[in-house]
């Protein structure tokens, strides 16, 4: 780690003001990224050893999913000590080394903060269990008496996001059945009471701990859920809504106005540090307009745009979401963000080809209905990425999407780890299928994930075909496409630009309802979501395309690709420029 008296070369990328407005942020799910220790679980030294690949990819920042001390009941989203590294992932010194190595490459790091709940192994919860009802120890969490004459009914009818009741009854010190505690997630994840000044102060301490170490910011878990309706009403979710929120009538534990005070407080705390440290909220909120409330000027800096992730592969729906996002976020002076995949959802290289609904968090398996043709789904995923990376603002990538990884469907039941699987007795597969350790080298043990060949969830047959080494020098690979798009995004400063929709008929000389055309910083982006190919406009130069562009036949007049006339196939996106005029005329 550098010390303050050392002359440290600060890469230019790290001096950019408000870097988060335009950054491409790559999510690392540490347990599945790279395993240096050989125990089959990825770790911090594994990440440090693979930083060159991320540098080569061309991302601006990394978001690390939790690596703090945890019994791993929810893959680290159950934290027992917020200020130390779990031995599974390494040590604080390993973290410092990783941060310094990333910074030396001009790459920032934001870490995951889990403030809605702790692990039941957190010392505070252990103290609460042995303390009496009404004690200060219990006041750090949400304990209530049960309903009914015996108090044996939960205080509300709330369901856990992972299935089953959201309340668990404790046994008091004298052995009698006692109070109930709230856990919106697993029983091992008791919710904090954010009315408690002690809880608030503890999280200020935790923020300072990581800020003092030099992190560039935080991704804040369940940022829409920390405050509960104090009347604790019964509530039944809309079965169609995403499990993490988004119902038309918000749950009494989502979107409560009190959460905003917490972020105002944290905003002031971060502002005491140099380097534009940022807060990015994981807020699954019902509308884009409401999502923007999380990023008002005195609150968080970014919030995930899950509305974009949830938009179907449909031209008018996507255009509406893009417009609504830009309008809503700019109305509060925040950048829009864009995201297609993360560790909680079916990977977009599978999801975009599904013909059946797959509610967020529920997951899919090999017997799920509506499974896609993998190559068509990948074609669509590449197109979706090429559209997303052309948009102004900041974009999030999830490890492995640059390899075109699909959701893994064939996970043996006894290898599954997601609490969703257990709490629903296998009715919902959960999220293991997007968390399988990623392949680095086609022919190495565990495909380069771990030298010992171990892998905490088995990698499926054929995983080596997606390995990074095979894709690096293949100009047509998904990895090469990501690298090209990221480099162009940077050169053309697309993150700082704006979206101007272009008239498709003017551009193509024909109506094409399923084609989107936009311009950002002089780059024209055409997305063909229709079933038929369309002829590209004349006189344009192709900067990048999500797929091979076939030549036009039968004398169709259109632009040239390397001198040959070209078509934009179905489920494809192209980036074009014209030196002469924006309309290529």
Per CB under 6 A, residues contacting ligand NOJ are: 74, 77, 114, 185, 221-222, 282, 343-344
- For ligand NOJ, the closer of residues 74 and 402 by Cβ is 74
Q: Distance between alpha carbon 268 and the CA centroid of its chain, in Å?
A: 25
Q: What is the closest distance, in whole angstroms, from the C-beta atom of residue 265 to ligand NOJ in the complex?
A: 21
Helix (H) or strand (E) holding 534: strand 534-535
Number of alpha carbons in the 13 Å side-chain half-sphere of residue 127: 12
- For ligand NOJ, the closer of residues 276 and 401 by Cβ is 401
- For ligand NOJ, the closer of residues 189 and 455 by Cβ is 189
- For ligand NOJ, the closer of residues 343 and 380 by Cβ is 343
Q: What is the closest distance, in whole angstroms, from the C-beta atom of residue 186 to ligand NOJ in the complex?
A: 8
CB 280 within 8 A of CB 220: yes
Closest residue by Cα to residue 110 from 211, 13, 36: 211
- As beta bridge partners, residue 295 has none
- CA-CA distance, 550 to 558, in Å (whole number)? 12
- CA-CA distance, 192 to 200, in Å (whole number)? 10
How many other C-beta atoms lie within 10 A of the C-beta of residue 8?
12
Separate counts of helices (H) and strands (E) for the chain = 15, 22
Q: What is the closest distance, in whole angstroms, from the C-beta atom of residue 421 to ligand NOJ in the complex?
A: 12
Q: What is the closest distance, in whole angstroms, from the C-beta atom of residue 145 to ligand NOJ in the complex?
A: 26
- For ligand NOJ, the closer of residues 19 and 263 by Cβ is 263
- CA-CA distance, 78 to 88, in Å (whole number)? 14
- CA-CA distance, 287 to 294, in Å (whole number)? 12
- For ligand NOJ, the closer of residues 108 and 224 by Cβ is 224
**Catalytic residue check, 221:** yes
- For ligand NOJ, the closer of residues 343 and 483 by Cβ is 343
Annotated catalytic residue, options 35, 282, 299, 407: 282
* E strand map for 183-255: 217-220
Q: What is the closest distance, in whole angstroms, from the C-beta atom of residue 162 to ligand NOJ in the complex?
A: 8
Can you tell me which residue has the tokens 């905490």? Answer: 456
Residue closest to ligand NOJ when measured from CB atoms: 77
- CA-CA distance, 440 to 471, in Å (whole number)? 10
Closest residue by Cα to residue 457 from 430, 482, 483, 481: 430
Largest alpha-carbon pair distance within the chain?
88
Pairing mode, strands 394-398 and 337-339: parallel
- CA-CA distance, 41 to 436, in Å (whole number)? 10
Q: What is the closest distance, in whole angstroms, from the C-beta atom of residue 380 to ligand NOJ in the complex?
A: 24
- CA-CA distance, 166 to 161, in Å (whole number)? 8
- For ligand NOJ, the closer of residues 282 and 324 by Cβ is 282
Annotated catalytic residue, options 186, 191, 221, 276: 221
Q: What is the closest distance, in whole angstroms, from the C-beta atom of residue 296 to ligand NOJ in the complex?
A: 22
Map residue 462 onto helix, strand or coil.
Answer: coil
Q: What is the closest distance, in whole angstroms, from the C-beta atom of residue 338 to ligand NOJ in the complex?
A: 17
- CA-CA distance, 447 to 290, in Å (whole number)? 43
Q: What is the closest distance, in whole angstroms, from the C-beta atom of residue 223 to ligand NOJ in the complex?
A: 9
- For ligand NOJ, the closer of residues 221 and 276 by Cβ is 221
Closest residue by Cα to residue 440 from 450, 428, 452, 448: 448
Q: Give 42's contacts (C-beta < 8 A, 6+ positions apart).
A: 29, 30, 31, 32, 33, 34, 35, 89, 437, 449, 450
Q: What is the closest distance, in whole angstroms, from the C-beta atom of residue 241 to ligand NOJ in the complex?
A: 16
- CA-CA distance, 532 to 391, in Å (whole number)? 24
- For ligand NOJ, the closer of residues 28 and 114 by Cβ is 114
Pairing mode, strands 534-535 and 567-568: antiparallel
C-alpha angle 27-28-29 in degrees, rounded to nearest 5: 115
Phi, psi of 519 (to 5 degrees): -125, 135
Q: Give 109's contacts (C-beta < 8 A, 6+ positions apart).
A: 61, 62, 63, 64, 98, 99, 102, 103, 215, 216
Active site residues: 221, 282
């Amino acid at each position: 780690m550098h010390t303050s008296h050392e002359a440290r070369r600060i890469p230019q990328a790290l001096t950019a003001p408000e870097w988060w407005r335009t950054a491409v942020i790559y999510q690392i799910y540490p347990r599945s990224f790279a395993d240096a220790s050989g125990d089959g679980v990825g770790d911090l030294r594994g990440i440090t050893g693979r930083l060159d690949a991320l540098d080569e990819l061309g991302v601006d920042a990394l978001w690390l999913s939790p690596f703090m001390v945890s019994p791993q009941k929810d893959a680290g989203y159950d934290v027992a000590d917020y200020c130390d590294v779990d031995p599974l992932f390494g040590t604080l010194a390993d973290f410092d080394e990783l941060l310094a190595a990333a910074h030396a490459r001009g790459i920032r790091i934001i870490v995951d903060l889990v403030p809605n709940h702790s692990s039941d192994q957190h010392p505070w919860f252990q103290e609460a269990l042995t303390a009496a009802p009404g004690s200060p120890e219990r006041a750090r969490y949400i304990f209530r008496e049960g309903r009914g004459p015996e108090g044996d009914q939960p205080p509300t009818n709330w369901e856990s996001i992972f299935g089953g009741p959201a309340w668990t009854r404790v046994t008091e010190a004298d052995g009698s059945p006692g109070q109930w505690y709230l856990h919106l997630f697993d029983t091992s994840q008791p919710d904090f009471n954010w009315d408690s000044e002690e809880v608030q102060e503890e999280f200020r301490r935790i923020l300072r701990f990581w800020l003092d170490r030099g992190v560039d910011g935080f991704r804040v878990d369940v940022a829409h859920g920390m405050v509960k309706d104090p009347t604790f009403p019964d509530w039944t979710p809309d079965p169609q809504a995403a499990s993490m929120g988004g119902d038309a009538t918000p749950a009494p534990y989502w979107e409560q106005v009190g959460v905003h005070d917490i972020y105002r407080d944290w905003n002031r705390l971060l502002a005491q540090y140099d380097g534009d440290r940022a807060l990015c909220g994981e807020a699954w909120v019902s509308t884009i307009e409401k999502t923007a409330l999380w990023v008002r000027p005195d609150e968080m800096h970014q919030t995930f745009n899950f509305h974009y992730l949830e938009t179907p592969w449909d031209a008018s729906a996507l255009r509406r979401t893009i417009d609504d996002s830009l309008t809503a976020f700019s109305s509060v002076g925040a950048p829009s963000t864009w995201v297609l995949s993360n560790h909680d959802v079916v990977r977009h290289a599978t999801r975009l080809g599904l013909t059946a609904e797959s509610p967020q968090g529920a997951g899919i398996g090999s017997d799920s209905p509506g499974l896609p043709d993998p190559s068509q789904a990948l074609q669509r995923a590449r197109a979706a990425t090429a559209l997303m990376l052309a948009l102004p603002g900041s974009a999030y990538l999830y490890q492995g999407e640059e390899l075109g990884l699909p959701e893994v469907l064939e996970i043996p039941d006894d290898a599954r780890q997601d609490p969703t699987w257990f709490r629903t007795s296998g009715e919902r597969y959960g999220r293991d299928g997007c968390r399988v350790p990623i392949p680095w080298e086609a022919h190495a043990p565990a495909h380069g994930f771990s030298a010992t060949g171990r892998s905490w969830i088995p990698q499926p047959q054929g995983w080596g075909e997606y390995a990074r080494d095979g894709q690096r020098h293949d100009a047509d690979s998904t990895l090469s496409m990501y690298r090209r798009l990221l480099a162009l995004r940077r050169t053309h400063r697309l993150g700082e630009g704006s979206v101007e929709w272009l008239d498709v008929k003017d551009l193509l000389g024909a109506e094409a309802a399923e084609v989107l055309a936009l311009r950002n910083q002089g780059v024209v982006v055409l997305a063909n979501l229709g079933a038929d190919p369309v002829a590209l406009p004349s006189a344009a130069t192709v900067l990048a395309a999500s797929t091979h562009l076939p030549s036009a036949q039968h004398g169709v007049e259109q632009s040239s690709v390397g001198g040959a006339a070209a078509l934009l196939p179905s489920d494809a996106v192209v980036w074009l420029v014209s030196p002469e005029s924006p309309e290529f005329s």
